Amino acid sequence: MADTSHGGLARVRVDGVVHLALVDRGVATLLPEFNGSMVDLIEGGPRRLNEGRTLARGEDRTRLALEAVHVLAPIDRFRRDVICAGWNYWAHFEESRGKREGQDVERPTAPTFFTKAPDVVIGPNDPIGWDPRISAKWDYEAEIAVIIGKTCRSVPLDAALDHVFGYCLANDVSQRDLQRRHGGQWLKGKSIDATMPLGPWILPADTFELDEVQLSCFVNGEVRQNASTKQMAFSIAELIAEASFGMTLHAGDVLLTGTPAGIGNAMDPPSFLVEGDEVVVRATGMGQLRNRLVRADLYGASRVEI
């Protein structure tokens, strides 16, 4: 796993017990006082975060190499679906023109939102469940995730970033045929269980600047996506202001901010993920997600035909 010098907050499992940990330079400092709940820490606000940092400096702390712990998805409790912004890099919007199977639209003038069911979330190194009976068109989407830090509604643009707890990475694995199948809305094609890596840890907003981060995706070592967050169509502040418009966002909510150009569905010919593929998502100073597609029984006793 790639290291970061920014002091990320992680959830880790050690000897069967889940802990919060402060990760810095390849070392995880355990914080058992937080009972393994990132959402509880977030809800505690800056005071609770600073308490954790103070505890991590103590001489009596348990410190372990990252290789000695199992890093989990950083968010452990969801009040709602994962909130997502689509088409938030114009190059990605344009690359799919004519490839949306009759569902093309004009370039939007406001953010496009959809959601993913929370059971999609897996850890930064966990296997991505893959079942060809569910979909024939598995695709990757490297994204920056925003973790909401304060419960809020109708946040003004100039105060939006004050409501960010921190940032991490996500891979919005999508099933393109399911995405087209259900009337043009994306919930189903984005919500297959155990398919969205999240992590590896949260970089608190008071220590990490997201102004210009390079976001990349590699499939079996081949670079597929590579873009700067400066290329976002709508800024993170705009996304928060629009998403919170008349709708409560809760501390601990996850907001995905869109993917750059380079998805498999837009390639000529299209290139979809198959069993055994390794997908790596990286961003400047944020660590990485490294996940392999592993066959799983997601179809069960269903008789749905795709």
For the residues 96-109, what does the mean pLDDT come to?
A: 76
CB 147 within 8 A of CB 75: yes
Structural domain tally of the chain? 2
Do 144 and 257 belong together in one domain? yes
Q: What is the mean pLDDT of the chain?
A: 95
What per-residue confidence (pLDDT) applies to 292? 99
Do 29 and 97 belong together in one domain? no
Predicted confidence (pLDDT) at residue 185 exceeds the cutoff of 90: no
Do 115 and 257 belong together in one domain? yes
- What CATH number corresponds to the domain at position 235? 3.90.850.10
Express as a percent the part of the chain with pLDDT over 70: 96
Q: Which of 44, 72, 100 is the last residue of a domain?
A: 72
Neighbour count for residue 270 (Cβ, 10 Å): 13
Do 67 and 28 belong together in one domain? yes
CB 189 within 8 A of CB 179: yes
* Residue 74 to residue 203: CA distance in whole angstroms: 10
Q: Which domain holds residue 89?
A: 82-295
Q: Which of 72, 93, 108 is the last residue of a domain?
A: 72
What per-residue confidence (pLDDT) applies to 101? 65
For the residues 199-209, what does the mean pLDDT come to?
A: 96
* Residue 276 to residue 192: CA distance in whole angstroms: 18
CA-only gyration radius of the chain, Å: 19
